[in-house]
Amino acid sequence: MVRSAPSPGTSLNCLRQLLAEGVPVGVGNEDSVRRQWWAALATLQDDLLLSQPSLEGIWLAAPLPALYEPGLLQQLQGWVWAPSELGDLLPAASSLLPGTRASSANALPSGGFQRLALAEEDGTDPLLLVITPTVQAALCLDGPPQARRLVVRFDPQVLSAALSLINERLQSSDPEAAQALRTALQGLGSLRSDEQLVLRFWPRMAERLAAIAPSVTLQPLVHGGHEAASKPFSSKAISSELALLEALTHEVRTPLATIRTLIRSLLKRGDLPAIARHRLEQIDGECSEQIDRFGLIFLAAELQRQPGSEDPLERDALARTDLSELLRQLEALWQRQLARRDLVLELQIEPGLPPVLSDPARLETMLGGLIDRFSRSLPSGSTVRLALQPAGAKLKLHLSHDLSPKLRGEPGHQSDPGHHRELVGPVLSWNPATGSLQLSRQATQRLFERLGGRLTERNGSGLTVFFPVC
């Protein structure tokens, strides 16, 4: 079926102008509004949408999927105006996520999105509109250089007008998509204004922006001294550095999540050459590893910044966890990750071990982070040995390593992979010999404490984590 080009009056630029009516003229540059965009996007997803007990609704975005949280992508129906050059990565009427079905002409399944054609007159500034029964919002960037602005609208009148313009656009360019959108909207009921939503959004976004900006040029991040004997940090420096660290981890995770999503879409094709599939799977694995790694850094920074507040990892959430089975399930994944650095994993689990008290979902990520932290400084050819055995009323998880035979006794290879680490603020440590950046010992210990474990680390003897037996 041949699609007709949209009329100039229904371009996405017109939609941005509609959303911006009554909004003050922008005074920002590209860098500042992009920071505002990411802060607004994170606030909408993390603080408004993911806080809902259940999710249903629709989202429309351009020129790429703006949503990046898997929980949202799996539950909301979406439409994305994307450049034709991305046709191979975003096939029409397909989901970004593996395991979901392609959408039909008249009904999109939950968890999928349909690609729409982005016209030349649509522009390339980011645009997102989300409609659920409880959260209804539109975000976009617009304006000329040095007069850029972020536009965020919650008012039903403007959102209704925006949906009418979108319907008009789709009626002329993709009638099937127009019908699917109308059907989805009818099931959500009428638009409404929630003043409490607005009151929550702007202060939280301001907090995120404040966390991004404060010490980019004023506060040095790297402090001298080894991790084991570091100098104390001033509370002001700690607050500034942790705020910046939280912002940076978000800035890193967001594009990585988008890249991983696009790669998984491409991996669903059946005509990929074997070498291309292998390379894409490697990239997918690296993205997942780094997303988890920076997620742990973000959590560690958040805990450090709020030492007196309610612990985000509630001990009430701890449950019976079969640690032996969890390690077996993760063995193949860790083998692949270590193999990328020419390392080998050796897993030793004594039979008949009882369950421990922990949180299996968070523990999986934390154990992966521990292996990454331990192995990053090891030379190629080393063996990472992970042993689980009883220790009284606890289970002992011990992480050690062996150098390859050809490296044993050679000068320049330390027996302790954590040797000469320097603190980078209170959360991160840095190995100047390798350039490896990891969670500090204190931050790692604190995260394990929230999961019911106790971490000990001694130079030359590896890492040990004790978990209480149920």
d(CA 197, CA 49): 11
186 and 72 in a common domain: yes
24 occurs within a structural domain: yes
Determine the pLDDT at residue 136. 94
Q: Are 81 and 12 in contact (CB under 8 A)?
A: yes
Task: List alpha helices for 268-358, DSSP H.
Answer: 274-305, 323-339
229, burial (CB in 10 Å: exposed 0-12, middle 13-18, buried 19+): exposed
Q: Which residue has the higher pLDDT, 118 or 97?
A: 118
Last residue of a domain, one of 158, 182, 206: 206
From the CA atom positions of the chain, what is the Rg in Å?
25
Contact 321, 357 (CB under 8 A): yes
Backbone region of residue 452 per phi and psi (left: phi > 0; alpha: psi in -120 to 50; beta: other values): left
Per-residue model confidence (pLDDT) at position 85: 58
On whether both 158 and 268 belong to a single domain, the answer is no
- Give φ, ψ of 240 to 5 degrees: -65, -45
| Residue 80 maps to a domain | yes
pLDDT in tens, 68-90: 777 787 789 999 998 775 554 44
- Residue 50 sits at the vertex; the CA angle it makes with 46 and 55, to the nearest 5 degrees, is 150
The predicted model scores a pTM of 0.50
Instruction: Output the CA torsion sign for 302, 308, 312, 313.
Output: positive
Give yes or no: residues 356 and 461 share one domain: yes
* Host H or E run for residue 256: helix 235-267
Sheet holding 383-391, edge to edge: 344-349, 383-391, 394-402, 462-468, 454-458
Q: Cα 440 to the chain's mean position, in Å?
A: 21
| Structural domain ending residue among the three candidates 142, 176, 206 | 206
Query: Both tokens of residue 89?
Result: 């990565």
- Domain coverage including residue 435: 315-407+414-468
pLDDT tens digit sequence for 408-442: 555 444 444 445 667 767 788 776 665 667 788 88
State how far the Cα of 391 lies from the Cα of 25, in Å rounded to an integer.
66
Domain final residue, candidates 274, 305, 336: 305
Widest Cα–Cα separation across the chain: 74
pLDDT digits (tens, 9 = 90+) for 282-302: 888 888 888 888 888 888 887
Q: Residue 398: its pLDDT value, please?
A: 94
Do 83 and 224 belong to one domain? no
Assigned domain for 310 exists: no
Residues forming a β-bridge with 131: 58, 136
Return the pLDDT at 102: 36
**Same domain assignment for residues 115 and 254:** no
